[in-house]
Amino acid sequence: MTAQRACGVNDVAVSSAVKVELDGIAVAIVKDSAGAIHAIGDTCTHGEISLSEGFVEGDAIECWAHGSQFALATGKPMNLPAYEPVPVFEVTIDGDDVLVDVQNPLTQQ
């Protein structure tokens, strides 16, 4: 595992997301409505839109452009027009730090 610091736990509000770049990969750090933190590929698979600029609803994030929602646990789109998943990365909470391993995605595109 090659986890690296992505941001602080408190840098992300509940039901919101921040964009970070790790090893040249755009990653959305998302805090779901229950307060759990997820890391997924930030770029919508339907277009070059940053998912962190979208809306977090429950355990999914919605692309603001055309409304596809992606499950935070799996990266899979839940509705069209996107039909390909975004990668999901392992998150480790170390004190106040959010660590993410972008080299070994839990799910592949």
Measured CA to CA, the distance from residue 109 to residue 101 in angstroms comes to 16
> Closest-CB residue for ligand FES?
47
Give the integer Cα–Cα distance in Å for 56 and 35. Answer: 11
Nearest residue (CB) to ligand FES, 61 versus 98: 61
Binding flag, residue 52, ligand FES (CB under 6 A)? no
Regarding 63 and contact with ligand FES (CB under 6 A), the answer is yes
Site string for ligand FES, 80-109 (x = CB under 6 A): -xx---------------------------
Kindly state whether residue 65 participates in binding ligand FES, applying the rule CB under 6 A. yes
Distance CA 32, CA 90 (A): 15
d(CA 108, CA 88): 8
